[in-house]
Structure 1
Amino acid sequence: MARLLRSLRKPLTLTLTHQFHHQQQQLCISRHLFRRSYISEMRKEAFEGNILRLLRNEIQYELQSSPPPDKPFTKFGSFTVDGRAGERWITLEKRHADENIKLEVTMFDGAVPAPTPTKGGGGVINSDEMQMHITVIVTISKGEGDGVLQITCSAWPDCVEIKKLLILANENIITEPYAGPEFTELDDALQDSLYDFLEVRGINDELAVFLHQYMKQKDKTEYVRWMQMVKSFIERK
């Protein structure tokens, strides 16, 4: 009987020992996985925390260095200004006699070296300084069925430059219309008359100055808005 008990005790002991080692291995694996997960989560939180800190610092710096105006511009002359928050465009609209005039204006979309004045009254290109470029698309309509005049302009810091003229069947035309010659190829007197045409409608050098001032502020505002959106996304759990 004692021999039988000893023979039964041996495999039972081996089984219990095997189970004990298996449990120990599983516990070690669980601890290892938990440690890796914990370290990974800590690194993720530290990484995201660093991004959030940098974003907060940058937002604070931008707001302190140049606070936004208390009241954003909603008018310029007889134009109504729509700042279109979150977009790269703004819109100006007005009524002139029997015309509806609409300006779609980009944020800064290019730059060229700025000319430096010389003693003789001319200028030389100075590659150390740049002047920013803004595209202005002027749309003038006189009612349904009369077509639409579209004039593409460049707004430089102190002047408006006409680039192209188009007559469209309607404002939402899809096909590519005949664009006419380059504006600079037109007769000089005709070019001057077209500038006068825009001047009467308030599309002039003063508008160019306003647009550059407005877009400097919009560029900063949209940058801060963008950082705040990135910050909110990272903070979201």
Structure 2
Amino acid sequence: MARLIRPIRRTVVASSKTLIQQQPSLCIQKPILNPHIQSRTCMSEMRRSAFEGNVLRLLRQEIQFELERSPPKQPATKFGSFVVEERPGEQWIRLRKKFGEKEEIKIEVTMFDGSIPAPKSGGGVDTGEDVELHITFIVNISKGDGGDVLEFMCSAWPDSIDIQKLFMHGRDQTVAQPYTGPEFKELDDELQNSLYEFLERRGINDELAVFLHEYVTNKDKTEFIRWMGSVKSFIEKK
């Protein structure tokens, strides 16, 4: 949210005096018990009102700018045979589907949680501001019989997925320190390829990575606008 906070810090301090001068008297006429105390109270109320008014103005401007520049889209409710569960106000989304007669697949997806420098078109690495954003997602596959769960921890890059870790655990994990297996990249290459194919058969592939990046980009904007609206509503309360 730095793009919001920085303009507020620059503008509020510079314009507070001007806004105070423009404010009508906010002091309720009361019997003057101590003129000095009443004067200080009046100035304090005017400064607070000017500051809050400036913050509200900047919030409204930023919300309007975001809505006019590229308004958020209605989030997708499906991807292939997956049902997409939007979770407003959270940094997660969930996808679900059934595969075959018994398998139940659940995917928990973060919003953007990392980045790397984007490669240059002619080779090498771009040292500018272009980056490739990273999304973590966790795939849980169960057989619907209350038994073990096969879990993949994966990365979604803009056009590809990477498996980072593979776990086996029970639905109700009770072991204090279960053995979680080796790092995925330590497995035999042929086994790694077979596990990628295992996921691809279930619709967990590079196309999913593309979809997730589009979805999370839209959600990031939606949540930013929602957050600014919540801040604005709070400050507006009397």
Q: State the TM bucket, normalised to the shorter chain.
A: 0.7 to 0.9
Task: Say how many residue pairs are matched.
Answer: 206
After superposition, the Cα gap between the structure-2 partners of 1:176 and 1:58, relative to the gap in structure 1 and judged at 3 Å, is farther
| 1:202 counterpart residue number | 203
Unmatched 5+ residue regions in structure 2?
A: 1-30
| 2:151 counterpart residue number | 150
Alignment of 1:92-103 (within 5 A): 92-97=95-100, 98-103=102-107
**Contact persistence 1:148–1:171 (CA under 8 A):** no
After superposition, the Cα gap between the structure-2 partners of 1:90 and 1:172, relative to the gap in structure 1 and judged at 3 Å, is farther
**Contact persistence 2:155–2:164 (CA under 8 A):** yes
| Aligned counterpart in structure 2 of residue 105 of structure 1, from 78, 91, 109 | 109
Residue type of the alignment partner of 1:141: S
The percent identity for this pair of structures is 58
SS in 2 for 1:35: helix
Q: TM-score, normalised by structure 1?
A: 0.83
| 1:230 counterpart residue number | 231
Deviations along 1:182-218, one digit per CA (max 9) or x if unpaired, are 1111111111100000001000000000100111110
| 1:19 counterpart residue number | none
> Is residue 83 of structure 1 aligned with residue 86 of structure 2?
yes
Residue type of the alignment partner of 2:114: G
| Aligned counterpart in structure 2 of residue 35 of structure 1, from 39, 55, 61 | 39
| 1:126 counterpart residue number | 126
The separation in 2 between residues aligned to 1:178 and 1:162, in whole angstroms, is 18
Deviation at 1:161, TM superposition (A): 0.3
The separation in 1 between residues aligned to 2:159 and 2:75, in whole angstroms, is 22
**Contact persistence 2:78–2:84 (CA under 8 A):** yes
Deviations along 1:101-143, one digit per CA (max 9) or x if unpaired, are 000000000001122243xxxx422222210000010000002
Residue type of the alignment partner of 1:86: G
Which aligned runs of 4 or more in structure 1 are off by greater than 4 angstroms?
Answer: 171-174
Residue type of the alignment partner of 1:47: F
Root-mean-square deviation (CA), in Å? Answer: 1.6
Structure with larger Rg: 1
| 1:136 counterpart residue number | 137
Q: TM-score, normalised by structure 2?
A: 0.82
| 1:4 counterpart residue number | none
Unmatched 5+ residue regions in structure 1?
A: 1-26
